[in-house]
Amino acid sequence: MALTGHLNGESLARLSGAKPAEQASPAPAADNPTPADPVRVSSLDTLSRQLREKEAALNQREEELKQREAQLATREAELAKLRADLETMQKQLESSLQDADTERQVRLKTIALTVSEMKPDKAAERLEGLDPADIAEILLQVEGKNRGKIMEALSPETAVSVMRQLQGKRQ
């Protein structure tokens, strides 16, 4: 074999009469602890216990996070419902305000028609008890000629307040 160039470990073992390398008993592995190494076994047990404790703590933390996520999702749903309810209420309120304003405008127009049919001094007497802004809105709906006569019949203080309202100036 040496002549052919195929000399290897197995060939050498056959020539020398020794057992081949693969039949020899394996040497104990360095990472396979033997019962004779109690320090190594103890430290592996400690590490294993610590690993289980950390895994348990991580599992507990994961469960807590899942519960918090569920609570957050519930609160987000409640908030969305409250927001929708609030928007509905706001639309209803706006509608009610618009209806009330429309109703007020109808009433003022009715009063304006009534006032325009009255004698100016009687109309002024009836209007004196109202707010100057309301008097101004009523008089805006009265024909110009009658409006002037009613304004003449109002008390000077009320007439001034109504004139300011008509001009868009507030005191």
16 pLDDT band, cuts 50/70/90, is: low
165 burial (CB, 10 Å; 0-12 / 13-18 / 19+) is buried
Give tens-digit pLDDT for 119-135: 999 999 999 989 999 99
The reported pTM is 0.49
C-alpha torsion angle, residues 157, 161, 166, 171 (rounded to 10):
150
Task: Give the type of residue at 42.
Answer: S
Helix (H) or strand (E) holding 48: helix 38-117
Residue position matching structure tokens 């639309």: 91
Give tens-digit pLDDT for 36-73: 477 787 888 899 999 999 999 999 999 999 999 999 99
| Mean predicted confidence (pLDDT) in 134-152 | 90
Give tens-digit pLDDT for 1-10: 445 555 566 6
In the prediction, which pLDDT does 62 show? 96
In the prediction, which pLDDT does 166 show? 87
Domain parsing of the chain, residue ranges: 38-167
Name the percent of the chain lying above pLDDT 70: 77
| CATH architecture, range 38-167 | Orthogonal Bundle (1.10)
In the prediction, which pLDDT does 40 show? 80
